[in-house]
Amino acid sequence: MKDRNDKLVFWGCFIALITTAFAFITRAFMVNMPDLWPATFGLDGVQAQRLFGAGIWPFAISIILFSLIIDKIGYRVAMVFSFICYVAYAVLAFMAYGTVNAEGLEGQALKDAQTQAYWFLYAGSIILGLGNGTV
């Protein structure tokens, strides 16, 4: 039975690491490709890089914090926390996309929607970074 649990933990960690890698690289492409997030959300270069950074610094914070308590809480709790962070990020990203793609947005209404979407993405990026660092 111990060998089976070890294999499950190994494959769970392997999948979590692959998920983390894909989360980083897809965000990097979406933020840095001018025809993706910058065009959709009306981001200038500074805003785009703020979003990029918002996914990096929480990564370091959660690595440090979870390293202090991981032996007490266990890897299962850490993986559940990470999964919840991924789901929360996905919800916020879809909300951001839906905000800027609502019918009839033009002029100031579109700019307001883009600003709101930016903050959805920013909060989501912080949450995603925390989840990535947990892995």
118 near 43, Cβ under 8 Å?
Answer: yes
Domain layout of the chain by residue ranges: 2-134
Task: Quote the pLDDT of residue 76.
Answer: 84
Chain centre distance of CA 63: 15
Residue (of 54, 35, 37, 42) closest to 113 by Cα position: 42
DSSP for 84-98 reads HHHHHHHHHHHHHHH
Residue (of 9, 45, 51, 57) closest to 28 by Cα position: 51
Residues 6+ apart with CB under 8 A from 83: 131
Q: Please report, in tens digits, the pLDDT of each residue of the chain (135 residues total).
A: 578 887 887 888 888 889 889 988 998 899 999 899 999 999 999 999 999 999 999 999 999 999 999 889 988 888 889 999 999 999 999 999 999 998 888 899 999 999 999 999 999 999 999 999 998
In 10 A of CB 38, how many CB atoms? 18
133 near 58, Cβ under 8 Å?
Answer: yes
